[in-house]
A and B are shown apart, each in its own frame.
Chain A
């Protein structure tokens, strides 16, 4: 039987796939292959050999079994909007588009406060279903992932650690995973978590009994299988909320002031959500086509390191008390609250509810705008508070060295290049730290510079004792070799699960012949 990427074998594979899941859902037409070949990252595009659109877990099983039989690589894809080059078929093979047909909400459970979904269920839908259909004592529910594009896959955001830091208070999104269904490299089904245990079903805890192997699949970018269902916890959208934006009274050392403020807020567990943004992001949140001021000019009077804080309370009195404490803390740190009315209207224009989810869907849109031109990347990590100012300073030096925009009129500030800090981790002195960067995707020289900058950023993060949020741009090459036994076990596991290295080969350096 033929195997591998060659004409004869692929023709047989194509026919088998068409027979297995339906001719209309399988194609090797160049137009289809091209449209699945690229994302907007620095990773160069590459065509798959076949594209398939499965409609069920059973379809995915059939695909993987055929691929395994004929030794053809398999690459899963959800929305395709990722900042890590995670859906590029580096060695061709079968591209599995998981969202176009597998888009069902399978279960919304008010007793356990969980929702079970397929890969094609997008964040906006997950939120809407939870918020509008799941209540406890009239309190609506919501999923933990927010500050993410409403148009992207909830499942992929959870298992692939999508936009970070959103609901750090509840743990990161992976801790809200109750159970998963995976199709393994040999086509067998693996269920994880309490739903996998007979006679137990869904209980909203993160791990099943005994050694739980669910964690192995998180951030694995498809190298151990394909996830077709996920059950996640929901959280109450409780009480009343107020939103503030703070700026430094004196711009000098604004980052340090903001960081101190964040530390105070975290250690006192005062805030629901804290987000130190940066000038460029603020510009892009409020920019609108009719604004006469160009982005660079606007940055003159916008906050360099704005801190967005949301607080929750059961009553207005509770919020008043928290607000008073918040303002005192801010003053101690040299910050003051901006006029929310005008700025909120600008930032959250069009959103009926300026807080929480709808506001975040607007933020998600603003982030997606990426300055209207070019591509945007972020690099994120978990880190203790103390190294942050030095990391930020070094990052800016890297940006100055490697970033040369195609349009010389665009300043660094106007390009989303900056640092974010997100939290809180209640009572702790550590945060999500993120750097943002923009370039002109249409300019090959810009892409090369971006690749170098991002590599150096990865190195910078590791030098300062930060843990990368996830593998980005194949930077597993940087952090995985540092892990010693951990990497050895990963390699062994990969050999056992996927001896022919067919599941998204070389997305991570977990094989001895990694390219």
Chain B
């Protein structure tokens, strides 16, 4: 049965369920490029990150469909090779192909390639590149090989107000920073900025601190589906017990995972902070007191709040509201946004590809938008783009950092 409304990341089934879809791919090539109606030149046209970097058809959706067809044949028409594995695990799960193809052909390429990862892990074992982060999630509830205790360290460094412990006090809103904000030094400021914004807006919020556990997104995206399911069940139990009305997160991955992979099982609304901020600005509860200098910004749509959650306008509205920021779009934006290259476990599996695609994205920011600052709302994007920008003139920042700076005080 064709699901014309197949959502990205939801109800990802067994690989055999996608065999018919694999037959139906007509190799039209629309999934390789931005919407043909939006093409205005010969630049910034291509849109499959693994295809852009690796070039062979095998790394594009049509090629992966053929791999699915071969692997689900009886007997299978393909066995393990490094190239096969590479083609499977360099899909970032950006969702571009499914967003496009599902609307007129009913196929679910992204979901099927997610299933393909799960199939590969079961058949040939989890990749060594991913083993470490999966074990880390199991042992430490985060993919960063860091102990649990420092998870709340960023909050203890917030001195001008106290952040409530949602595990001990009843709060209206749970702020869920996620693993990146908690453990990655470049992303710590996002957690602090988010907390500060919520505080200044008078929101009754709290965090779980070191009791917070990974949303499981990383496990899911690298194809460790069983592990993710176990994690999901535990998280649902813990989070529902808090009695909050809203969960706010600044991580696009967490947002997408809670909003889609946990859909229907949570007793509260899941909101990305950028939508919250937009609301606060509209309600007059959030004011900017400082004008920023020399910020020629462009916005990079993260896949997980962009195509996955259709949040396109809120970050732009917020960015345009910040005094002193000049804003110009790139070419590949919104539904056409080019993935930063690091999703789906690619950052650890194929770091060359992750950096290569990120460099292409930064080049677009420079040439198409004349930007000196790339702004985004996803720590994975910011980490990867930041690595590619290192040593150059381009800055990569989270929108929250600009908001916090412009709020002054």
A residues with CB within 8 A of B: 25, 27, 29-32, 34-40, 51, 53, 79-81, 97, 100-101, 103-105, 121-125, 127-129, 132-133, 149-152, 289, 350-352, 358, 361-362, 364-366, 368-370, 372-376, 441-442
Question: A125 to B44, alpha carbons, bound, how many Å?
Answer: 10
Q: Is the CB of B40 within 8 A of A128?
A: yes
Q: Is the CB of B67 within 8 A of A365?
A: no
Question: A81 to B57, alpha carbons, bound, how many Å?
Answer: 13
Q: Is the CB of B37 within 8 A of A361?
A: yes
A289 and B4 contact, Cβ closer than 8 Å, known pairs A129-B42, A133-B41: yes
Instruction: Name the segment of B22-30, B134-142, B152-160, B196-204 touching the other chain.
Output: B22-30
Q: Which of the residues A34, A127, A441 comes within 8 Å of B23, measured between beta carbons?
A: A441
A38 and B66 contact, Cβ closer than 8 Å, known pairs A30-B81, A31-B81, A351-B37: yes
| Beta-carbon nearest neighbor of A362 in chain B | B37
The CB with the most chain A CB atoms within 10 A, among B23, B55, B83, B104, is that of B104
| Beta-carbon nearest neighbor of B25 in chain A | A40
B75 to chain A, nearest CB (A): 14
Q: Is the CB of B81 within 8 A of A29?
A: yes
- Which residues of chain B come closer than 8 Å to A30, judged between CB atoms? 78-79, 81, 83-84
- Which residues of chain A come closer than 8 Å to B81, judged between CB atoms? 29-31
B103 at the interface (CB under 8 A from A): yes
Q: Is the CB of A442 within 8 A of B37?
A: no
Per CB-CB distance, the 9 closest pairs between chain A and chain B, nearest first, are A150-B36, A35-B63, A442-B23, A151-B29, A289-B4, A124-B36, A31-B84, A372-B106, A29-B83
| Beta-carbon nearest neighbor of B41 in chain A | A128
Question: A123 to B28, alpha carbons, bound, how many Å?
Answer: 12
Q: Is the CB of A442 within 8 A of B30?
A: no
- Which residues of chain A come closer than 8 Å to B25, judged between CB atoms? 40
Q: Is the CB of A149 within 8 A of B106?
A: no
B20 at the interface (CB under 8 A from A): yes
| Beta-carbon nearest neighbor of B58 in chain A | A35
Q: Is the CB of B27 within 8 A of A79?
A: yes
A252 to chain B, nearest CB (A): 33
B166 at the interface (CB under 8 A from A): no
A409 to chain B, nearest CB (A): 12
- Which residues of chain B come closer than 8 Å to A80, judged between CB atoms? 27, 29, 57, 62
Q: A35-B87, A441-B24 are in contact. List 4 more A-B contacts (CB 8 A).
A: A79-B29, A80-B57, A149-B29, A372-B2
- Which residues of chain A come closer than 8 Å to B39, judged between CB atoms? 124-125, 127-128, 150
Q: Is the CB of B79 within 8 A of A125?
A: no
Q: Which of the residues B28, B40, B45, B66 comes within 8 Å of A34, measured between beta carbons?
A: B66
- Which residues of chain A come closer than 8 Å to B103, judged between CB atoms? 289
- Which residues of chain A come closer than 8 Å to B310, judged between CB atoms? none
Question: A123 to B36, alpha carbons, bound, how many Å?
Answer: 9
B56 at the interface (CB under 8 A from A): yes
**Can you list, as one digit per residue, whether each of B99-118 has a CB less than 8 Å from chain A (1) or not (0)?**
00001111000000000000
Q: Which of the residues B19, B36, B77, B78 comes within 8 Å of A151, measured between beta carbons?
A: B36
- Which residues of chain B come closer than 8 Å to A105, judged between CB atoms? 42
B32 at the interface (CB under 8 A from A): yes
Q: Is the CB of A37 within 8 A of B66?
A: yes
Q: Is the CB of A125 within 8 A of B23?
A: no
| Beta-carbon nearest neighbor of A288 in chain B | B103
- Which residues of chain A come closer than 8 Å to B28, judged between CB atoms? 79, 81, 149, 151-152, 368
B70 at the interface (CB under 8 A from A): yes
B5 at the interface (CB under 8 A from A): yes
- Which residues of chain A come closer than 8 Å to B106, judged between CB atoms? 372-373
- Which residues of chain B come closer than 8 Å to A123, judged between CB atoms? 36
| Beta-carbon nearest neighbor of A375 in chain B | B26
A289 and B78 contact, Cβ closer than 8 Å, known pairs A40-B27, A133-B41, A375-B26: no
B33 at the interface (CB under 8 A from A): yes
B15 to chain A, nearest CB (A): 15
Q: Is the CB of A32 within 8 A of B58?
A: yes
- Which residues of chain A come closer than 8 Å to B40, judged between CB atoms? 128, 132
A358 and B55 contact, Cβ closer than 8 Å, known pairs A34-B70, A151-B28, A442-B24: no
- Which residues of chain B come closer than 8 Å to A29, judged between CB atoms? 81-84
Question: A461 to B79, alpha carbons, bound, how many Å?
Answer: 44
Q: Is the CB of A369 within 8 A of B105?
A: yes
Q: Is the CB of B56 within 8 A of A97?
A: yes
- Which residues of chain B come closer than 8 Å to A104, judged between CB atoms? 42
Q: Is the CB of A122 within 8 A of B87?
A: no
- Which residues of chain A come closer than 8 Å to B70, judged between CB atoms? 34
A405 to chain B, nearest CB (A): 14
The CB with the most chain B CB atoms within 10 A, among A125, A351, A370, is that of A125
Q: Is the CB of A129 within 8 A of B55?
A: no
Q: Is the CB of B20 within 8 A of A350?
A: no
Q: Is the CB of B41 within 8 A of A369?
A: no
| Beta-carbon nearest neighbor of A121 in chain B | B42
B335 to chain A, nearest CB (A): 10
| Beta-carbon nearest neighbor of B57 in chain A | A35
A281 to chain B, nearest CB (A): 13
- Which residues of chain A come closer than 8 Å to B45, judged between CB atoms? 122, 124-125
Q: Is the CB of B29 within 8 A of A372?
A: no
Q: Is the CB of B56 within 8 A of A32?
A: yes
Q: Is the CB of B56 within 8 A of A373?
A: no
Q: Is the CB of B36 within 8 A of A361?
A: yes
Q: Is the CB of B27 within 8 A of A81?
A: yes
The CB with the most chain A CB atoms within 10 A, among B66, B87, B106, is that of B66
Question: A245 to B70, alpha carbons, bound, how many Å?
Answer: 44
- Which residues of chain B come closer than 8 Å to A121, judged between CB atoms? 42
- Which residues of chain A come closer than 8 Å to B105, judged between CB atoms? 368-370, 372
- Which residues of chain A come closer than 8 Å to B33, judged between CB atoms? 122, 124, 150-151
Q: Is the CB of B83 within 8 A of A32?
A: yes
A352 and B26 contact, Cβ closer than 8 Å, known pairs A29-B83, A97-B57, A372-B4: no
Pick 27 A–B contacts, CB within 8 A, sort by A: A25-B55, A31-B58, A32-B56, A34-B58, A35-B62, A53-B55, A53-B56, A81-B27, A100-B51, A103-B42, A122-B33, A125-B39, A125-B41, A125-B45, A128-B41, A129-B41, A149-B30, A150-B37, A151-B32, A362-B37, A365-B104, A368-B28, A370-B26, A372-B4, A375-B24, A375-B26, A441-B23
